[in-house]
């Protein structure tokens, strides 16, 4: 028992002698998605389009050894989801449709807590909290003639353009997710200042509710009963990041 205690003390001293605090900042450019199966299954009426966002933030880390550490970030994040689709006109003998493009933008504060495996090259994994600060929605139709209304799910539909409409109340305030990534740190000043290049992917596991491509929430009459079961929003985003890290010995 005494030998085990002595060995533990030696390991603790060795860890303390190596321990390094790191501080810095980073920027990431991401492919962003608001994953919602109700949108994916809607056919011509709505579909997702390529979307991109970014985040920037503060890095704080602590390395216990040359191969293991822990890092947290405070990231100011923008998640953008573009949509496209078309709605059938009410008065038409053929399948004439009015096309549209719409966008939902989430501004969030993300706080990941990551285990870091490796130092110069690394793999990272850990949980993340996401706080929704702002959400807006915009939609533009090809035509907005009030004399040519639409029909959607056998109900009359009005073609009305909207720009930066506040929709934060339709989203949950807090989400829980996971982040993982990999990358490398390169010396700018030996063991003092490092340049970081990496890739990181983030997925929110909890349902953030939200809206679909037409700006409708789950409780809307335009969301049918059998579609409501699939109406869940899970933000997914990932891409490349670059940063500067200062090491305190």
Task: For residue 44, give the DSSP letter.
Answer: G
Express each pLDDT in 194-230 by its tens digit: 999 999 999 999 999 999 999 999 999 999 998 999 9
Least confident of 108-117, 131-140, 185-194: 185-194
The pTM (predicted TM-score) of the whole model is 0.87
Please say if the pLDDT value at position 7 is more than 70.
no
pLDDT score for 10: 35
Neighbours of 18 (CB within 10 A): 12
Phi-psi region of 227 (alpha: psi -120 to 50; beta: other; left: phi over 0): alpha
Please say if the pLDDT value at position 11 is more than 80.
no
Sequence-ordered alpha helix ranges (H) in 201-247: 225-228
pLDDT score for 92: 76
Task: For residue 65, give the DSSP letter.
Answer: S
Residue 156 forms beta bridges with which residues?
151
pLDDT score for 217: 95
Express each pLDDT in 57-92 by its tens digit: 999 999 998 899 999 999 999 999 999 999 999 987
CA 23 to chain CA mean position, Å: 23
pLDDT score for 16: 45
Express each pLDDT in 91-121 by its tens digit: 877 889 999 999 999 999 999 999 999 989 9
Q: Are 82 and 36 in contact (CB under 8 A)?
A: no
Please say if the pLDDT value at position 53 is more than 50.
yes
| Structure-token pair, residue 98 | 């009015």
Which helix (H) or strand (E) segment holds residue 8: the answer is: helix 2-18
Q: Are 132 and 172 in contact (CB under 8 A)?
A: yes
pLDDT score for 5: 42
Q: Are 230 and 209 in contact (CB under 8 A)?
A: no
Fold adopted by 18-248: Porin (2.40.160)
Q: Are 241 and 196 in contact (CB under 8 A)?
A: yes
pLDDT score for 119: 85
Please say if the pLDDT value at position 141 is more than 60.
yes
Q: How far apart are CA 94 and CA 15, in angstroms?
A: 74
Express each pLDDT in 165-186 by its tens digit: 999 999 999 999 999 999 999 9
Q: How far apart are CA 95 and CA 88, in angstroms?
A: 7
């Amino acid at each position: 028992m005494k030998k085990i205690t002595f060995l533990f003390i030696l390991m603790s001293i060795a860890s303390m002698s190596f321990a390094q605090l790191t501080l810095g900042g980073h920027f990431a450019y991401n492919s962003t998605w608001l994953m919602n199966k109700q949108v994916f299954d809607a056919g011509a009426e709505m579909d997702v389009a390529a979307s991109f966002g970014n985040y920037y933030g503060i890095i704080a880390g602590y390395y216990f050894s040359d191969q293991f550490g822990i890092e947290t970030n405070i990231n100011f994040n923008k998640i953008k989801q573009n949509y496209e689709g078309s709605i059938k006109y009410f008065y038409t003998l053929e399948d004439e449709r009015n096309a549209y493009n719409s966008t939902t933008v989430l501004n969030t504060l993300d706080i990941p807590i990551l285990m870091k495996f490796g130092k110069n090259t690394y793999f990272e994994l850990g949980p993340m909290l996401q706080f929704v600060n702002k959400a807006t929605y915009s939609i533009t139709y090809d035509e907005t003639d009030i004399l040519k209304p639409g029909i959607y799910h056998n109900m009359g539909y009005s073609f009305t353009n909207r720009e930066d409409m506040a929709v934060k109340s339709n989203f949950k305030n807090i989400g829980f997710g996971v982040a993982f990534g990999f990358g490398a740190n390169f010396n700018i000043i030996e063991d003092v200042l490092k340049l970081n290049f990496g890739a990181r992917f983030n997925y929110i596991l909890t349902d953030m509710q939200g809206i679909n491509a037409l700006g409708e929430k789950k409780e809307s009459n335009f969301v049918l009963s059998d579609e409501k079961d699939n109406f869940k929003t899970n933000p997914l985003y990932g891409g490349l990041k670059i940063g500067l890290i200062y090491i305190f010995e």
